[in-house]
Amino acid sequence: MSKTILIVGGGLAGTIVANGICRQMGAELRSGALNITMLGTSETHMYQPGLLYIPFGRMREAELFRDQRKVLDKRVNFFVDPAKAIDVEKNQVTTEAGRTFKYDYMVLATGSRIMPQTIPGMKEGGHWFYDLDGARKLRTALNEFKGGKIVINVNAPHKCPVAPLEVAFMLHDYLKAKGLWDKAELTYTYPIGRLHALEPVAHWAKPEFEKLGIKYETFFNTESVDPQAKTIKSMEGSELPYDLLITIPPHQGAQVIDDSGLGKGGWVPTNTKTLHREGSANVFVVGDTTNIPISKAGSTAHFEADVTIDNLVSLCQENTFAREYDGKVFCFVETGLGSGTYVWFNYTTPPNPGPPSQMIHWFKLAYNRLYWLSARGLL
């Protein structure tokens, strides 16, 4: 009897899963014993980490995009028809176009989205680089910046957890190269009592900030932004003036997750090891969609996708589980426009950032080019 794997979401995690299963189950696909369907939201696939480079003129917009149908294995049935309702009891998904897709196994890879509108004044007064329009506007703002106070304001939850640190380091080098560092004051805010959620990363970042002259304020949970007065206030009672506000907006998961009752805020309760949706033996969750308390990063999506591929193939072919996810995350960290480091960790091993070097920066630039091999499941 033919089996159907339905992948909801066409970002990195969903794409790797689709391509990886195709690579391992060619015989079943040829015989019709297996069908793979993906429901996406766009004809294009975007390399999201590349958005960080757009404001600094280090990547072109065209480098961030490919046709999703060309990134996907041709044996995947791909529909640009977003899911509207997900029924895990009936094993079916209804789309915005009114179609219904049944499944034997489902992979939820619906991702996350920025929600600046949830904080009064942030959408009107802030800049960000977490979508293309925001990255473009920030590029313009940096080109026009002649000096003054810059606030980098971090809100939680958010994906790409080291990106706020990266933009601070890169902004230092950018302003210094333009002869504006002495005319600028850069302040970084974070909602808890250190500079990063991961304590070893926070301990590493603090002396790096102090060495460069980057100010910081912790326990800063954003209450509101006043675009006219150019101030940002925290729930703790602090108020910071700014000439340029770069914010990392709070994120939420996909609306369809909330609407389908699968998880508050769009985050699906997920088994940390099997990546099953809690309560569903045939539903897997990967990437930003999980509620697992680890980094929402591209590498997380990749490693979760690899585990999910092995388990789905094993379930289809051998009716057994293959392996568990160990919480592995690997992130490059740009420490300027010409240097970088990295963090690697899992559920049992904490991160330990090493000394920045030009070589690691080059590795990150190389990965920016190799990403498309990663999305195809070849890297």
Q: What is the pLDDT of residues 94-106, one digit of tens each?
A: 999 999 999 999 9
Q: Give mean pLDDT, residues 306-312.
A: 98
d(CA 321, CA 309): 11
Distance between CA atoms of 56 and 297, rounded to whole angstroms?
21
The predicted-structure confidence for 182-205, as pLDDT tens digits, reads as follows 999 999 999 999 999 999 999 999
pLDDT at 377: 82
**259-279 average pLDDT score:** 97
Tell me the pLDDT band of 379, cut-offs 50, 70 and 90.
Answer: confident
Tell me what pLDDT residue 182 has: 97
Tell me if residue 262 falls in helix, strand or coil.
coil
Distance (Å, whole) CA 379 – CA 366 = 13
**328 in the Ramachandran plot: left (φ > 0), alpha (ψ -120 to 50) or beta?**
beta
Domain ranges of the chain: 3-111+254-328, 115-250
DSSP symbol at 157: S
Distance CA 141, CA 7 (A): 39
Q: What sign does the CA torsion over 53, 289, 233, 211 have?
A: negative
N residues, the chain: 379
| Second-level CATH architecture of 115-250 | 3-Layer(bba) Sandwich (3.50)
In tens, the pLDDT along 148-176 reads: 999 999 999 999 899 999 999 999 999 99
Residue 359 has pLDDT above 90, yes or no: yes
User: Any bridge partners for residue 306, and if so which?
Assistant: none
* Rounded-to-integer distance, Cα 19 and Cα 372, Å: 12
- pTM above threshold 0.85: yes
Domains 3-111+254-328 and 115-250 share a fold: yes
For the chain, state the CA radius of gyration. Answer: 21
Mean pLDDT of the chain: 97
Adjacent-strand bridge partners of 222: 234
Closest by CA to 92, choosing from 37, 11, 30, is: 37
Q: Are strands 239-241 and 244-248 parallel, antiparallel or unpaired?
A: unpaired
What's 3-111+254-328's CATH class? alpha beta
Angle formed at CA 329 by CA 209 and CA 190, multiple of 5 degrees: 35
Give the whole-angstrom CA distance, residue 107 versus residue 306. Answer: 12
* Helix intervals (H) in the chain: 12-24, 26-31, 68-71, 122-125, 132-144, 163-177, 199-212, 255-259, 298-318, 358-375
Closest by CA to 289, choosing from 278, 229, 314, 56, is 278
CA atoms within 13 A on the CB side of 229: 10
Tell me the backbone φ, ψ of residue 262, rounded to 5 degrees: -95, -10
CA angle 102, 3, 17 (to 5 degrees): 85
Structure tokens belonging to residue 348: 């049992």
Integer Cα distance of 211 and 6 in angstroms = 50
Cα-Cα-Cα-Cα dihedral sign, residues 251, 257, 262, 264? positive
Exposed/middle/buried for 232, CB within 10 Å: 0-12, 13-18, 19+?
A: buried
What's the average model confidence in pLDDT over 85-110? 98
Q: Is the pLDDT of residue 82 over 80?
A: yes
